[in-house]
Amino acid sequence: MSNKDLATQSYEKKIVTALREEKYNLPSLKKNNEFLDSLSIIPNSRNNIANKFYKDNITKATNLYIDSFNELILPLVAEKGTAFEVPEEQLNELMNLYDIKVSRIVEKLQLINRVQDEMFYDLPLISATWGLCIDGMENFPLMMALGSNKIIVLDEDFNMDLHFFASLGAMPDIRPTTKAGNIDLPPNSYNIDLQMMVGNDFKKISILLLKHKLEKLDSFFSFMVNIGLIVDTKSSIKEDFSGLKWIKNSLQYSLFKNKSFLNLTKIMKVGGLIIDKSVSPMQVQKIQSMMKSNVNLDIGFEINKLGILQYSVIQKTDNLNLIFDPMEDMVCRMPEVINKSSKFNNY
C-alpha cells in the first residue's frame, strides 16, 4: 500500500469511513448524541469538570473503535476495492465491544445529571461525609460532581498517573500513609490532596486511595462511621447489563450479595446513597419466579430506579439490625428470634 499514490490511499480511506458512518456507527453515540451535545464543558462547576473528563474519554474510546475498524477493513478495500466482502461477524463483535465501553461512560454522565434532580439527593449530607468509590479512580469525577469532598477510592491498579489529575485541572499532593485519623490503614494506602480550580476559586478535595479489594478491608470499615455515598459501577464486569440480563446479573453481582458489604450497610448515614450498577436483592421481591427465598429483605434501604438507566440508586432510610445470611448469600434483616438471643448476635 505504501507504493500507491496518495490519491488512491485517500479514496480507499473514504470508502472505509463511508461504510462505518452509514452502517457501523456506535449505537450508544447515535442514541445519546443530543444529550452529549447539550452538556457544558466550560470548567466553571464540578459538573462541567466531570462532563469534560467523561466526554474526552468517550472521544478516546470512539477513536480506538475507528482505528480498529480501519485496521480490519482497509486491507480488504486495498486488495479488492469496492468488491470486498464485509466481515459482518467480526464487525459486529468489534462494534459491540466499543459500544459497551462508550455506553458505560455515557451512563456516568446521565447519573450525574439525573441524581441531582431527585428528591432523595442530599447534597449537604454527601458534602459533609465520606464517599466510597468501590471500583476504581475512573469514578472519582462522578463522585466529585455529586458533591463529595472526602473520597475513599479502592483501586488496585491505579499507577499515580499525573495525566489523570491534569485532565481534571487538578494539582495533586500524593503521600503514602499508614493511618486515617486513629485508624490503621493497610499497606499501599495513599493520601491524595487535590487543589482544583472550580469557577474562579480553588477547592480542596481529599482522596484516600487504598490499593485493595473490598474483601480485604472489613476491619478498616468496621471503624468508619461517616459514609454518605457509595458508588460501584461494576467496571470489572465486561458483559452486557441491559434488559433482563440486568436482573439476572443482580442476583450475582449486587453489593448486597457481598458479605464484605455488611459493615458498610451498618455504618452508612441515614439519607446516604448507594449507586449500584446491578439492582439490589431487595428489588427481586417483585420477581418471585427468580427468587425462592424466605429471608427478610426489608432492611432499611429504598430502591430508586432512574428511568431507563441500568442502575439502582439506593437510599438508606433506617438503621436496622442486619446480618449476612450464608445460606442465601445476601445481606438481610436479622430474624427476631436471633435478634432477641444474645448468643446469636454475631451470626
User: HEC profile for 238-292?
Assistant: CCCCCHHHHHHHHHHHCHHHCHHHHHHHHHEEEEEEEEECCCCHHHHHHCHHHCC
> What nine digits make up the cell of 131?
464517599
> What nine digits make up the cell of 342?
444474645
pLDDT given at position 290: 46
Angstrom distances, CA of residue 196 to CA of 109, 162, 165, 278, 312: 20, 14, 9, 32, 30
Write the CB contacts of 77 (distance below 8 Å, at least 6 apart in sequence). 12, 15, 16, 84
pLDDT given at position 57: 95
DSSP state of 334: P
Residue owning grid cell 450498577: 277
Collapsed DSSP state (helix, strand, coil) of residue 296: coil
Output phi, psi for 171, to 5 deg: -110, 115
326: left (phi over 0), alpha (psi -120 to 50) or beta: alpha
> What is the DSSP code string of 59-98?
HHHHHHHHHHHHHHHHHHHHHHGGGPPP-HHHHHHHHHHH
pLDDT given at position 215: 85
- Answer whether 219's CB lies under 8 Å from 121's CB: no
The 10 Å CB-count burial string (b at 16+, else e) for 251-267 is bebbbbbbebbbbbbbb
Q: Count Cβ atoms within 10 A of the Cβ of residue 280 and give its class: 0-12 exposed, 13-18 middle, 19 or more buried.
A: buried
pLDDT given at position 345: 44
pLDDT given at position 243: 64
Side-chain-side CA neighbours of residue 8 (13 Å)? 10
- Answer whether 115's CB lies under 8 Å from 171's CB: no
- Answer whether 112's CB lies under 8 Å from 39's CB: no
pTM across the whole model: 0.88
Total residue length of the chain: 347
- The pLDDT tens digits along the chain (347 residues) read 455 677 777 888 888 888 899 999 999 999 999 999 998 777 778 999 999 999 999 999 999 999 999 999 988 888 877 777 888 899 999 999 999 899 999 999 999 989 998 999 999 999 999 999 999 999 999 999 999 999 999 999 998 888 999 998 888 999 999 887 778 888 899 999 998 888 778 889 999 999 998 888 877 887 778 899 999 988 887 776 666 666 676 767 888 888 999 999 999 999 999 998 877 666 655 544 445 566 777 888 888 877 667 778 889 999 999 999 888 788 888 876 555 554 444 44
Of 116, 105, 180, 190, nearest to 141 (Cα)?
105
